């Protein structure tokens, strides 16, 4: 197994739906501690790691929260209704396993009388195998969050499993931090692991406000255009290198920052692709709109089946992204 897989297994296995990032934060802090000078947590739960310098302030951000579900109501038979935490697609949810913070597991199923194409979240429920409502309440209470549970594996240079979005971005930052730990640079480096991205980019803006960076770079997953019969063409393939974001639904990146990221890739032998994501947004947008505005860019890991329990990406794209970011961090004067 690759080092990327080992780190993803550790950071990706931690329970961390939006607003409940504590376990992820602890897992990351335990690894990050040896690479940096200072580590703090703010009121929103952002983890801010700093490698001090007197030069340019560069902020690198990866969100640590994941999508999930929250229990809203339990019926007399003990079936649990739920609402979504972040963007869920019903086709990804049928017959999958979810896990609550206390370890309770359940299966998501649906009301069969509703035609499949008409199903909404309201027709789905979680079955924890309870005898009745009182029995279910022993294990799950209203307001409890749950996350996808599925195996994580590495095969032929590819990672697969839940929550590459965005624990693989967190892993990318950790790898870049390791490479930068002994680097000769005067730049003031901030590695921020943000909270609540999946529910509306809520943590990143506050973190960037307090850091006041000269340039901010978000690291997250992006879609690919390499699957059979895709509806929307996209010039990003899994395994062809990290993608430098041009724009998505939430942001148009700063041209000079895009160019500098591509140059950093060229300087260290990492091939890059250009990303234009026609749906979805990232922390990049919140970083850009902080204070009087911040110059931003984003580096994305091309990922298939995003927001399903079986996301897929290439190890080499993650390694390339980390190398590129480390190069970018020392190259900005
Ligand atoms: Co996401
Ligand atoms: Zn994400």
pLDDT for the residue 333: 84
Distance from the alpha carbon of residue 105 to the mean position of ligand 2, in angstroms: 24
**Strand, helix or coil at 118?**
helix
Nearest to 245 by CA among 258, 232, 263: 258
pLDDT for the residue 45: 98
Distance from the alpha carbon of residue 268 to the mean position of ligand 2, in angstroms: 26
Nearest to 165 by CA among 220, 127, 204, 83: 220
Q: How many CA atoms lie within 13 A of 21 on its CB side?
A: 30
Distance from the alpha carbon of residue 127 to the mean position of ligand 2, in angstroms: 28
Question: Is the pTM value of this prediction over 0.85?
Answer: yes
Neighbours of 205 (CB within 10 A): 20
Distance from the alpha carbon of residue 75 to the mean position of ligand 2, in angstroms: 33
Q: What is the DSSP letter of 249?
A: S
pLDDT for the residue 181: 94
Share of the chain above pLDDT 70, in %: 100
Q: 189 pairs with which residues across the strands?
A: 51, 58
- pLDDT bucket at 135, cuts 50 / 70 / 90: very high
Residue 290 backbone phi and psi in degrees, to 5: -75, 145
Q: How far apart are the first and last CA of the chain?
A: 37
**pLDDT tens, position by position, 21-41:** 999 999 999 999 999 999 999
**pLDDT tens, position by position, 264-276:** 999 999 999 999 9
126 is written with which tokens? 């979680």
Distance from the alpha carbon of residue 65 to the mean position of ligand 1, in angstroms: 9
Residues 208 and 294 sit within 8 Å (Cβ to Cβ): yes
**pLDDT tens, position by position, 280-302:** 999 999 999 999 999 999 999 99
Residues that are catalytic? 197
Give the separation between CA 269 and CA 206, rounded to whole angstroms: 34
Ligand at minimal distance from the CA of 64 is 2
Give the separation between CA 258 and CA 156, rounded to whole angstroms: 31
**pLDDT tens, position by position, 236-255:** 999 999 999 999 999 999 99
Distance from the alpha carbon of residue 63 to the mean position of ligand 1, in angstroms: 9
The answer, yes or no, to whether residue 85 has pLDDT greater than 90, is yes
pLDDT for the residue 232: 86
**pLDDT tens, position by position, 194-213:** 999 999 999 999 999 999 99
**Strand, helix or coil at 110?**
strand
Mean pLDDT of 303-314: 98
Distance from the alpha carbon of residue 306 to the mean position of ligand 2, in angstroms: 9
Mean pLDDT of 11-19: 98
Give the separation between CA 132 and CA 129, rounded to whole angstroms: 9
The answer, yes or no, to whether residue 184 has pLDDT greater than 90, is no
């Amino acid at each position: 197994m690759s080092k990327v897989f080992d780190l993803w297994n550790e950071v990706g296995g931690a329970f961390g739906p939006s607003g409940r990032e504590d376990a992820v934060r602890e897992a990351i802090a335990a690894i990050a501690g040896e690479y940096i000078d200072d580590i703090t947590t703010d009121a929103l739960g952002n983890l801010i790691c700093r490698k001090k310098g007197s030069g340019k302030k560069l902020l690198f951000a990866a969100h640590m929260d994941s999508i999930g579900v929250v229990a809203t109501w339990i019926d007399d038979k003990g079936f649990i209704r739920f609402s979504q935490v972040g963007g869920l697609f019903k086709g990804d949810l049928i017959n999958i396993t979810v896990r609550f913070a206390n370890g309770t597991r359940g299966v998501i199923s649906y009301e069969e009388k509703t035609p499949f194409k008409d199903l909404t979240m309201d027709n789905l429920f979680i079955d924890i195998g309870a005898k009745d409502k009182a029995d279910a309440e022993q294990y799950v209470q209203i307001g409890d969050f749950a996350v996808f549970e599925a195996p994580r594996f590495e095969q032929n240079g590819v990672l697969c499993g839940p929550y590459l979005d965005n624990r693989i971005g967190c892993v990318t930052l950790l790898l870049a931090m390791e490479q930068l730990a002994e680097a000769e640079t005067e730049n003031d480096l901030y590695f921020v692991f943000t909270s609540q991205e999946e529910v509306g980019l809520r943590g990143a803006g506050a973190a960037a406000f307090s850091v006041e960076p000269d340039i901010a770079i978000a690291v997250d997953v992006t879609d690919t255009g390499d699957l059979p019969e895709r509806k929307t063409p996209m010039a990003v393939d899994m395994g062809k290198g990290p993608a430098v974001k041009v724009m998505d639904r939430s942001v148009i990146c700063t041209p000079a920052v895009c160019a500098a990221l591509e140059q950093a890739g060229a300087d260290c032998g990492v091939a890059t692709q250009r990303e234009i994501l026609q749906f979805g947004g990232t922390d990049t947008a919140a970083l850009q709109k902080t204070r009087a505005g911040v110059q931003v860019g984003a580096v994305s890991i091309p990922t298939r089946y995003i927001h399903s329990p079986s996301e897929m990406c290439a190890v080499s794209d993650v390694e390339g992204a980390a190398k590129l970011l480390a190069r970018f961090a020392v190259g900005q004067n």
